[in-house]
Amino acid sequence: PDADPAPGDEPGLAGDHDCVLCTSAVPGLTDRAARGPAARYVWDLADRENSRWVVPHGASGVPGSPHHRDQQPLWLDGELAPVVTDFDRLTKESDD
């Protein structure tokens, strides 16, 4: 599993409180973000298979999970992952 980054190894922040990729910090006090976008979605209403999404860290909010930061590289590069909406293509992962 991916470990959380050491202090100082976090990705940089772009934007400010008035832009699309907004972030907010308290300059002079901390560079840690107090808020930011929760997700990016692009829906193709004519063909769901063309839809894409990404979240800033990963598909799991559980530290230590293999999916805790699995989407972070996509997020940082401005890329998106496919949205799977066909139940025949979805698989359940082990709870182990």
Quote the pTM value: 0.65
- Residue-level pLDDT at 51: 96
SS (H, E, C) 13-64: CCCCCCCCCCCEEECCCEEEEEECCCCEEECCCCCHHHCEEECCCCCCCCCC
- pLDDT tens sequence across 37-52: 788 899 999 999 999 9
Domain extent listing, the chain = 6-37, 38-91
